[in-house]
């Protein structure tokens, strides 16, 4: 999906104000050299947000006298590695340093957290469930970043549109509470929701999880694809033993095709615990560990002005070599 910058970004309303003042001064003085700027992270991780940054640069840079080099979305990056290099008349992009750094910082932080969960889970799919933990204006970008990091799907509708995937999620506790019974809610879901959507029953609302699992399995039979365990922390959360018990009871009753999906407060260590203990989990839903990930700070430095090497103190003048960069504009 094409990343189109918003009007507020293009107008500079999201910029640090000193860049707006810098642009005003340079325009008044008639100063507009060709500048080479490089962006790098302060720690290693998964690069994400570069496609959005390129969408902005494509919009604002002149067709001539401009070059952009970058790593690809989703690539591993090292601390202080140059991941984006811009060479263009400075007035064309001076206003957007804040936006470029921010796009990369948050996207890379989310993608890096997602990658850690995916690596911990191995062959078991991880789905991003963190949309409720961030402002709605950035929920889709968070889910996009999670999928760049390796998640198989996400819960938000717009995040799925951005990644050309199907949004994942069936029923919340609220549906079951309003309808008064897990089986009744699951049957209604099966009745009214398109066949293309998997039948996943949430089984921790009213009764014991194993009991609820058997009740919905009996009601839906082969139409039931999975059950989801989301036991709250107040009742101990989802444990290895609980997953094993539910699996055993389903199998003993002949429902061996029903898969088990686990969510609720998952992080890398809890995923590793399930894996190391041999818990028969078929999928993990991860929320705040991804959505609340610390952004990766990015720095933008000028290294050349009209071909002359230059840099602030503490940095090395001239273009920084990185053979992994590819010319993208």
42 and 144 in one domain? no
**Rounded Cα distance, 176 and 101, in Å:** 43
What's the pLDDT band for 228 if we cut at 50, 70, 90? Answer: very high
**44-48, 150-154, 169-173, 175-179, range with the lowest pLDDT:** 169-173
258 and 174 in one domain? yes
Mean pLDDT of 204-208: 93
81 and 184 in one domain? no
SS3 303: strand
What's the pLDDT band for 170 if we cut at 50, 70, 90? Answer: confident
CATH of the domain at 47: 3.20.140.10
Task: DSSP for 225-264, please give it.
Answer: -EEEE---GGGT-S-HHHHHHHHHHHHHTT-TT-EEEEES
User: Do 309 and 295 touch, CB atoms closer than 8 A?
Assistant: no
315 and 258 in one domain? no
In DSSP terms, which residues pair with 63 in a beta bridge?
A: none
- Domain of residue 191 covers 120-291
Return all residues near 201 (Cβ < 8 A) that are at least 6 apart: 170, 171, 182, 186, 189, 212, 213, 216, 220, 224, 226, 227, 228
**Residue 96 domain-assigned (yes or no):** yes
User: Do 86 and 58 touch, CB atoms closer than 8 A?
Assistant: no
**Rounded Cα distance, 235 and 195, in Å:** 34
**Residue 1 domain-assigned (yes or no):** no
Model confidence at 252: pLDDT above 70: yes
User: Do 305 and 89 touch, CB atoms closer than 8 A?
Assistant: no
**Rounded Cα distance, 110 and 190, in Å:** 34
**Residue 141 domain-assigned (yes or no):** yes
Model confidence at 1: pLDDT above 80: no
SS3 176: helix
308 and 191 in one domain? no
212 and 171 in one domain? yes
**Rounded Cα distance, 138 and 1, in Å:** 16
In the chain, alpha helices (H): 7-11, 17-29, 50-60, 97-121, 136-148, 157-163, 173-179, 182-192, 209-220, 240-252, 268-276, 288-291
**Residue 2 domain-assigned (yes or no):** no
Query: From residue 171, how far is each of 125, 130, 207, 227, 228 by CA, in Å?
Result: 19, 16, 16, 11, 10
What pLDDT, on the 0 to 100 scale, is given for residue 287? 95
229 and 185 in one domain? yes
What pLDDT, on the 0 to 100 scale, is given for residue 272? 98
207 and 177 in one domain? yes
284 and 164 in one domain? yes
Instruction: Give percent of the chain with pLDDT exceeding 90.
Output: 95
SS3 47: coil
Instruction: Give percent of the chain with pLDDT exceeding 70.
Output: 99
Say how many C-beta atoms besides its own lie within 10 A of residue 22's C-beta: 17
252 and 218 in one domain? yes
What's the pLDDT band for 301 if we cut at 50, 70, 90? Answer: very high
SS3 302: strand
60 and 28 in one domain? yes
pLDDT 10s digits, 306-326? 999 999 999 999 999 999 999
**Residue 33 domain-assigned (yes or no):** yes
**Residue 114 domain-assigned (yes or no):** no
Print the SS3 string covering 162-174: HHCCCCCCCCCHH
Return all residues near 214 (Cβ < 8 A) that are at least 6 apart: 249, 250, 253, 255
The domain tally of the chain equals: 2
249 and 306 in one domain? no
Residue 8 tokens read as 């507020």
**Residue 115 domain-assigned (yes or no):** no
Alpha carbons within 13 angstroms on the beta-carbon side of residue 196 total 3
**Residue 302 domain-assigned (yes or no):** yes
CATH of the domain at 283: 3.20.20.70
Model confidence at 107: pLDDT above 90: yes
**Rounded Cα distance, 20 and 26, in Å:** 10
pTM given for the model: 0.94
């Amino acid at each position: 999906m094409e990343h189109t910058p918003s009007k507020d970004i293009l107008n500079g309303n999201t910029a640090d104000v000193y860049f707006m003042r810098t642009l005003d001064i340079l325009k008044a003085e008639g100063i507009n050299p060709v500048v080479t700027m490089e962006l790098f992270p302060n720690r290693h991780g998964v690069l994400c947000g570069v496609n959005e940054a390129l969408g902005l640069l494509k919009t604002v840079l002149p067709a001539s006298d401009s070059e952009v080099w970058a790593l690809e979305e989703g690539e591993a990056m090292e601390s202080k590695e140059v991941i984006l290099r811009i060479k263009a008349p400075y007035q064309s992009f001076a206003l957007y340093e804040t936006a470029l750094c921010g796009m990369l910082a948050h996207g890379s932080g989310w993608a890096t957290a997602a990658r850690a969960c995916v690596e911990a889970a191995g062959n078991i799919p991880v789905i991003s469930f963190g949309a409720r933990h961030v402002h709605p204006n950035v929920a889709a970008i968070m889910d996009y970043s999670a999928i760049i990091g390796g998640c198989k799907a996400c819960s938000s509708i717009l995040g799925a549109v951005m990644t050309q995937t199907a949004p994942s999620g069936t029923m919340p506790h609220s549906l079951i509470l309003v309808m008064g019974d897990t089986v009744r809610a699951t049957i209604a879901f099966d009745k009214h929701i398109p066949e293309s959507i998997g039948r996943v029953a949430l089984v921790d609302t009213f009764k014991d999880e194993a009991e609820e699992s058997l009740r919905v399995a009996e009601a839906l039979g082969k139409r039931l694809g999975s059950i989801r365990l989301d036991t709250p922390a107040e009742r101990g959360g989802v444990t290895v033993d609980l997953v094993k018990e539910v699996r055993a009871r389903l199998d003993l009753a002949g429902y061996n095709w029903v898969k088990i999906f686990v969510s609720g407060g998952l992080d890398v260590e809890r995923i590793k615990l399930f894996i190391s203990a041999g818990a028969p989990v078929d999928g993990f839903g991860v929320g705040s560990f991804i959505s609340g990930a610390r952004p990766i700070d990015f720095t933008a430095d000028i290294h050349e002005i009209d071909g002359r090497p230059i840099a602030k103190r503490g940095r090395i003048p001239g273009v920084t070599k990185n053979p992994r960069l590819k010319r993208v504009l």
